[in-house]
Amino acid sequence: MKVDITNFGKVLPLVAAGMLAYAGAAYSQTEKRVIEAPKEPGIQLDRVSATAPTVNLTAVAKEVEPGIMEVDPSSVRGKRLVLGTIAGKNICLGKWTIQKRGTTENKFCQGMWIQG
């Protein structure tokens, strides 16, 4: 009975080429997911002069919880803010978010937090 012993010197380049091809395919898929990830637009800051139109904060704010108001940044962009009768309330200039993990709730403001 004759036994053939394979020469690993001939198999090694094939294995290395296969590993490189697999790594290249996996990297391109990962890169594609990163590029296609949706991005939320950031809050844009505008320059406002003393002659810019005003907006009353009570007119554009909505109460999301007792004592906490939420204001959409696009509704006050490029305008001067008049606080009005908001004294004693907290304002989230952005989006008020509630994140639930199990039994705990984390509440936070994605944007600017104005404490009244």
pTM of the model: 0.50
Q: What is the pLDDT of residues 53-71, one digit of tens each?
A: 888 887 888 888 888 888 8
Residue-range domain boundaries for the chain: 7-39, 54-114
Q: What is the pLDDT of residues 10-36, one digit of tens each?
A: 777 777 887 877 777 666 555 555 566
Looking at beta carbons, which pairs linking 61-64 to residues 24 or more positions away fall under 8 Å?
61/86, 61/91, 64/92, 64/96
The per-type count for the chain, helices as H runs and strands as E runs, is 3, 6
pLDDT value of residue 97: 87
DSSP string for 50-83: TTSPEEEHHHHEEEEETTEEEE-HHHHTTSEEE-
